[in-house]
Amino acid sequence: MKEKKSGKTAETKEGKKETGTKKVGKETDKEKETAETKEGKKEPDVKEAEKETEPEKEEPEIDIEKIKSMSEKELKSEIDSMRKVVDKKNKRINELRREFNTYQKDISEWKRKRDALNSNANELVDEASKFKDARNELNNKITELKENRKLLLDDVKKNVEKIKKLKAKRDDQNKIARGTTELLEKINEDILDTLINKDVPLTREVNLFENAVEMQTRLIASKKADEIHAQILKVYGGMKEIENQVDKISEEIRSTADDAQKNHESATNAYKEASTLRRNANEFHKNVVERYEKTTPLRDKMKDLKEEIDKIRDEMKPYVEELGRIRAEREEKKKVKLVDKAKEKLKEDRRMSMEDLKLLLEKGEIDLSKK
């Protein structure tokens, strides 16, 4: 009967081993959910495939009558033969499991590297996004500065037009004045002094009077020209201030544009580096998928071998039970003979061993309640 117990123990161990292989399927499902690759590849759902392809277990056909007719030697030979087959298959399972575990180790390592690269790539993308936002913010500032500068330049254009018109008016007055105000005032004073303080011929006096009237007209024009010129200078002064503001804004635009360009280059470099990391991550993911494809047939083969072992154990069970029955029967016959000898010793009051007493007690041949 020890053979039967050994069979159950082996079955329990195999059951634990089979439970261990199903863990890979769970990792595959998780990998399918978390894979971050642009290729869109998914790792195989081996667990679901096993459910779909798992065949129904067939009960082995056993000739009980034939087994009962076999001798102990024949039973032992048959059991040993089956056990050798089981051991051979278990050995093959262990070989496959070592190979499977090697692949699983590769998968774990490549997944770790892939996930690390994807994590670094995501960090770079976040960093690039920050550079991009900073660049866009600077570009918006540049747009606003250009709009402000345009308004100032529009003011400059308006002032230029204003100066042009004022100059035209001034030039018209200068044509009338035909001299500076200081010169004209000096000439006018000389004419008035002559008219008032000197005796001149009538014709000369008439000419001087006409010159004095003309001079008044020219002086008025000259003074108007001076006023217009003062306005022109004032507008020029305002334009100079505006031009200084324009220069300041232009310098700020150039400085801001340089900062925007630096952020743009940083964002571009971060995106390129992230792209390189993702390509490397995709290579690791490709290796992971390839390893999963290799583990699937190994898992299937181990599953088939376990099913074959279970089938052999089912076939071996009646042989073990029959062998146990024969041995138990033989032991019982042996025990009966020993009991008979012990009873004979007791009857003849011969020396008895502890084993003899034990046998007699077990069979109820000695009543300890009687003194």
Q: Is the pLDDT of residue 371 over 60?
A: no
Q: Do 119 and 243 reside in the same domain of the chain? A: no
* 59 confidence band (pLDDT: 50, 70, 90): low
Residue 179 lies in a domain: yes
- Across 31-48, average pLDDT: 40
Residues 62 and 177 reside in one and the same domain: no
Q: Are residues 61 and 175 in the same domain?
A: no
- 262 and 227 in a common domain: yes
What phi and psi, each to the nearest 5 degrees, are found at residue 35?
-60, 125
**Which of 275, 309, 332 finishes a domain?**
275
Amino acid occupying residue 125: V
Confidence of residue 230 (pLDDT cuts 50, 70, 90): very high
- Domain boundary (275, 302, 332) is at 275
Q: Per-residue pLDDT tens for 294-309?
A: 999 999 999 999 999 9
Query: Is the same domain home to 77 and 123?
Result: yes
pTM attached to this predicted model: 0.53
Domain total in the chain: 2
Closest by Cα among 19, 21, 15, 16 to 99: 21
Assess whether 56 and 109 both reside in one domain.
yes
Same domain, 81 and 201: no
Inter-helix orientation angle 202-348/181-197, to 10°: 160
- The residue range of the domain holding 226 is 135-275
Residue 10 lies in a domain: yes
Least confident of 20-29, 146-155, 357-366: 20-29
Query: What DSSP character marks residue 58?
Result: P
Same domain, 124 and 62: yes
**Token pair recorded at residue 368:** 């300890």
Residues 140 and 269 in one domain: yes
Q: What confidence tier does 311 reach under pLDDT thresholds 50, 70, 90?
A: very high
Same domain for 235 and 185?
Answer: yes
Same domain, 20 and 88: yes
Distance, CA of 274 to CA of 271 (rounded, Å): 5
Computed on alpha carbons and rounded to an integer, the radius of gyration of the chain in Å comes to 58
Mean pLDDT of 342-364: 74
* Across 38-48, average pLDDT: 43
- Residue 58's pLDDT band (boundaries 50, 70, 90)? low
Residue 344 lies in a domain: no
**220 shares its domain with 144:** yes
